[in-house]
Amino acid sequence: MKNTPVDYQTAKRVIDSYQLPDFGKATIREVVAISTQLEQETGTEFIHMEMGVPGLKAAQVGVEAEIKAIQNGVASIYPNINGIPEVKEQASRFIKAFIDIDVAPEGCVPVTGSMQGTFASFLTAGQCVPGKDTILFIDPGFPVQKQQVVVMGYKYESFDVYEYRGERLREALETYLSKGNIAALIYSNPNNPAWFCLTEEELKIIAEEADKYDVIVIEDLAYFAMDFRKDLGRPFEPPFQASVARYTDNYIMQISGSKAFSYAGQRIGITAISDKLYHRTYPGLTRRYGGGTFGTTYVHRVLYALSSGTSHSAQYALAAMFKAASDGTFDFVSQVKEYGRRAEKLKHIFKKYGFTIVYDHDLDEPIADGFYFTIGYPGMTGSELMKELIYYGISAISLSTTGSKQQGLRACTSFIKDNQYELLEERLKLFKENHRG
């Protein structure tokens, strides 16, 4: 083994100690643990690109509102399971301001982050119609959402959308939805990990196919308004955040406070259920619970059983952030554009030393710069590249864990420090020298 920034024998010993049959299938948390242990043992600074954790300060307007709420005594009081009126009303207004879609406050339900929102959505959707017990993932996607499905004992199917962009998406959806066993489908937009953005045409196709086969669409908007190619930060003015909600009433949107508002630590988000779906009854839900609509089952049965509500004070924070954004006094989009600036610099350095961007286009348009990007290296599988970069003090996760069929890694921009661009360049230069021929 050639000279590497992280001692080869130490790295090999630590990696081997985790007894992973295929390093490429290591979870995000395992990669974090390995890279952190190596940092401590060798004293070598790692460039951490594995964790999708916000790297900016929490929105001050939220912090102030939450402190005030705690001082006013909400910490000692259970919140209403439906959510406090302020957050429901401001969520509805925020959706109108930035997506131009009407969702009644009733259907805007605070959740303990989008993770809880998707878990409760999968759980409820899978109980609606007997025989519809499978979730379809339009991949690549967030690996833990599949873990959620496994935890609850449901089935899932998935396909990599890489080869199915544009009108071809319809044929892929037909293949899966026509079987009649799909309860709901899910995708993220912008996409985690590839950062492509499904177009209005593609969202319309998803809506049409979902309506045709009566499948609930779960739209994960964790990276809300973060397609920086468009100016999505002006409330009540086009262009708006793209959404399937323009084309169907059969949807649930997950809107997270974690990335757009850098409020990840307080675990707060909104599940927005369309008015029609909220009030719809299903035979499976009636049989199981004795009555209720999709919305009331979601809130009063599933969420209540999961956590008996969401952090009382964090709801005040989210309400304040939604209000300030909709009022135009809090430009959250310009703040998170920092991720795009980082991605542009990082991609330039990786490409300079022979790396490729795996998902590099949105149909005929170059991919946006944002929270994530994808890298590959000629002649290496994702698993090989992931392991090899550990020796150079660079940690990222394999695309294979996201449901992608492409060879490469997901890299996150959020933890990159200003001093690390030069460090990355030094290490990739050495990497290239060690991998000539």
Domain boundaries, the chain: 8-56+332-434, 60-327
Strand partners, 410: 374, 397
Print pLDDT tens along the chain (437 aa): 568 999 999 999 999 999 988 888 888 889 999 999 999 999 999 999 998 888 899 999 999 999 999 999 999 999 999 999 999 999 999 999 999 999 999 999 999 999 999 999 999 999 999 999 999 999 999 989 999 999 999 999 999 999 999 999 999 999 999 999 999 999 999 999 999 999 999 999 999 999 999 999 999 999 999 999 999 999 999 999 999 999 999 999 999 999 999 999 999 999 999 999 999 999 999 999 999 999 999 999 999 999 989 999 999 999 999 999 999 999 999 999 999 999 999 999 999 999 999 999 888 889 999 999 999 999 999 999 999 999 999 999 999 999 999 999 999 999 999 999 999 999 999 999 999 86
CATH architecture of the domain with residue range 8-56+332-434: Alpha-Beta Complex (3.90)
Provide CB contacts within 8 A for 416, sequence distance 6+. 47, 49, 55, 342, 346
Helix residue spans in 298-331 (DSSP H): 304-307, 312-327
**Do 81 and 312 contact (CB within 8 A), yes or no?**
no
d(CA 185, CA 292): 23
Please report, for the chain, how many H helices and E strands are present, in that order: 16, 15
**Half-sphere exposure in the Cβ direction for 379 (13 Å, CA):** 6
**Do 415 and 55 contact (CB within 8 A), yes or no?**
yes
**Do 138 and 109 contact (CB within 8 A), yes or no?**
no
Q: What is the pLDDT of residue 1?
A: 56
Token output for 28: 């995000």
CATH class, 60-327 region: alpha beta
Residue with tokens 């490729």: 356
Report the predicted TM-score, pTM, of the whole model to 2 decimal places: 0.94
Q: What is the pLDDT of residue 333?
A: 96
d(CA 135, CA 156): 5
Other residues' Cβ atoms within 10 Å of the Cβ of residue 168: 13
d(CA 393, CA 376): 17
Strand partners, 357: 375
Coil vs helix vs strand at 43: coil
d(CA 177, CA 113): 28
Coil vs helix vs strand at 109: strand
**Do 202 and 237 contact (CB within 8 A), yes or no?**
no
d(CA 272, CA 254): 6
Taking alpha carbons only, the member of 317, 282, 314, 316 closest to residue 301 is 282
**Do 25 and 18 contact (CB within 8 A), yes or no?**
no
Helix axes 332-352, 420-434, angle to 10 degrees: 30
**Do 363 and 165 contact (CB within 8 A), yes or no?**
yes
Coil vs helix vs strand at 136: strand
**Do 313 and 215 contact (CB within 8 A), yes or no?**
no
Coil vs helix vs strand at 23: helix
